[in-house]
Amino acid sequence: MIDQITAPDWQQLRYRFPVLEKKTYLNSCSYGALAIEVEASLQRYLRARADNGADWGYWVGRNEAVRKSMARLLGAESDEVAITASASAGINSLASALKFDGPRNKVVITDFEFPTNAQIWYAQELRGARVVRLAEEDGRIPLEKYEEAIDEETLIVATAQIAYRHGAKQDIAAIAEIARRKGALTLVDSYQALGTMQFDVKQAGVDFVVGGMLKYLLGTAGIAFLYVRQGIVDSLTPTATGWFAQEDITAMDITQYSPSHSARRFEAGTPAVPNTYMAEAGLAILHELGLEAIEQRIGELTTLIKDAATDAAYSLSSPLNPSCHGAMITLRSSDDNRLVASLAEDNIVVSCRDGNLRIAPHFYNNQADIEHLFHALHQRRELLV
């Protein structure tokens, strides 16, 4: 437990997120609030473009800085992290390196997946993959289902750490242990988790992790990452590639394909330079505050949300047990899109999926934000189940 005396001054930190002066912003599961440091980083890029034109040496350095910072967040080595344009780009690059013409051609996914993770693996059916999807039961995927589905024909298990529709959290270490014991690889979509909780890829025992910078990592869209466990990097050769994936990006060699011996082999073309500035700045805030303190803070806020919902007799889609959900808490709605639009009229920013109102605080939120939300919800009770 964090000593409250040494914890950050959460209220003081709010001034660094100007949107909070205008909005009750509880939508970090969709897009994180913009920090003044992140905005300033983009302005630095624009000024440098205006003053210098091009500065490729510095720009490549920003990409490397994001790689190093992301590795630190994951408990990984820099050589195990690829910086990609999106989670889709990372998964596609990985999928292109896998072969489905052998005895292991099964891909296990679940009902928790964001469309990207499911669609890419279904696309591999054109290359011989067999996709098996595990059904959700009462808002969870029982570990017994993984035990049953993963076998000697399974190549990879690809699943989300936290379900984007309702916020339920999976035991990734337990899933990875089952896959490893049966000789299969594990890919984790951690988009809805990273930045809100501690997650060490080594302790979890996973082979791959994807995520992006636009939500709880406080960056922007158009930049993401793929973690690849060091011991298997050289055994996987992507066919989806580009010049930044080569061992020597300055060689400009058009006579051969020479992929990097690091996870950089899963990258592609020129990085989105402005986005590297913003991602670097966003990650720096997380390192400054510490994930342990952030995780505790979010736990306090999600408890307030669950308590308020329970007191009002609203129907929670997320589990009550804090070990079984992430930063996003969801309420059942009879018309979720209408409810989101109506709350926006009171300057409350939330989102919805699959009949659920998604309430997603980050460390910059406070009790007043939650009280404002529930005051507005009580006035719209007819839209809640």
pLDDT at 260: 97
Report residue 358: phi and psi, to 5°: -100, 120
- For the chain, list the domains and their CATH numbers: 10-34+291-383 (3.90.1150.10), 40-286 (3.40.640.10)
Phi-psi region of 217 (alpha: psi -120 to 50; beta: other; left: phi over 0): alpha
- Tell me the C-alpha to C-alpha distance, in Å, between residue 6 and each of 299, 362, 381: 17, 19, 40
Listed residue (65, 162, 70, 173) closest to 114, CA to CA: 162
pLDDT at 298: 98
- Calpha distance 338→341 (Å, rounded): 5
pLDDT at 168: 98
Cα angle value 190/194/199 (rounded, 5°): 90
How far, rounded to the nearest angstrom, does the alpha carbon of residue 188 sit from its chain's CA centroid? 9
Q: Which residues contact 74 (CB under 8 A, 6 or more apart)?
A: 81, 194, 199, 200, 201, 209, 227
pLDDT at 1: 43
Q: What is the pTM of this model?
A: 0.96
Structure tokens at 344: 């926006």
Pairing between strand 356-359 and 329-332? antiparallel
Structure tokens at 293: 């303190």
- Calpha distance 122→113 (Å, rounded): 12
How far, rounded to the nearest angstrom, does the alpha carbon of residue 137 sit from its chain's CA centroid? 23
Residues comprising the chain, all counted: 385
Following DSSP, what letter does each residue of 149-204 receive, concatenated? H--TTEEEEEEESB-TTT-BB--HHHHHHHHHHTT-EEEEE-TTTBTTB---HHHH
- Per residue of the chain (385 residues), what is the pLDDT tens digit? 444 547 899 999 999 999 999 999 999 999 999 999 999 999 999 999 999 999 999 999 999 999 999 999 999 999 999 999 999 999 999 999 999 999 999 999 999 999 999 999 999 999 999 999 999 999 999 999 999 999 999 999 999 999 999 999 999 999 999 999 999 999 999 999 999 999 999 999 999 999 999 999 999 999 999 999 999 999 999 999 999 999 999 999 999 999 999 999 999 999 999 999 999 999 999 999 999 999 999 999 999 999 999 999 999 999 999 999 999 999 999 999 999 999 999 999 999 999 999 999 999 999 999 999 999 999 999 999 9
Strands (E), the chain: 24-25, 81-84, 106-110, 130-134, 154-160, 185-189, 208-212, 224-228, 329-332, 348-349, 351-353, 356-359
